[in-house]
């Protein structure tokens, strides 16, 4: 897959402490905002095909919890932090330009 940079949204479209799902082609992105920092990870839990963007954001730990089975994932590395998930989810580079949030897919 070639490297592409895609606009996801405006900064204010994702309130602090929340997550939102974006679809870019067949790629599902979970964009998480913690204060003014943004993190983008794959939106499919590696344990089962459930949307991570519907889970709870753990701001202090920089993790998101899968709402279905409770696995948590590190927002910086995609690594699972708790069972039942044992495989990481992809992470993507995020940049903020002005009031817009961009993600780099590779």
Topology of domain 4-105, per CATH? Rieske Iron-sulfur Protein (2.102.10)
DSSP sequence for 32-63: EEETTEEEEEESB-SSSS-BGGGS-EETTTTE
Q: What is the pTM of this model?
A: 0.95
Residue ranges of domains in the chain: 4-105
Q: Which DSSP state fits 43?
A: S
Q: Give the pLDDT confidence score for residue 103 in this predicted structure.
A: 98
In tens digits, the chain (106 residues) has pLDDT values of 588 999 999 999 999 999 999 999 999 999 999 999 999 999 999 999 899 999 999 999 999 999 999 999 999 999 999 999 999 999 999 999 999 999 999 8
Asked if 89 and 45 count as a contact pair (C-beta separation under 8 A), the reply is yes
């Amino acid at each position: 897959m070639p490297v592409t940079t895609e606009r996801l949204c405006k900064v204010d479209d994702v309130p602090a402490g929340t997550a939102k799902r974006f679809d870019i082609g067949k790629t599902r992105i979970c964009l998480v905002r913690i204060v003014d920092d943004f993190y983008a990870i794959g939106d499919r839990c590696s344990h089962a095909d459930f949307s991570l963007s519907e889970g709870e954001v753990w701001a202090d730990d920089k993790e998101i919890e899968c709402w279905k089975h409770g696995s948590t994932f590190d927002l910086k590395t995609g690594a699972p932090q708790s069972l039942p998930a044992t495989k990481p989810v992809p992470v993507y580079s995020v940049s903020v330009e002005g009031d817009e949030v961009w993600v780099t897919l590779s």
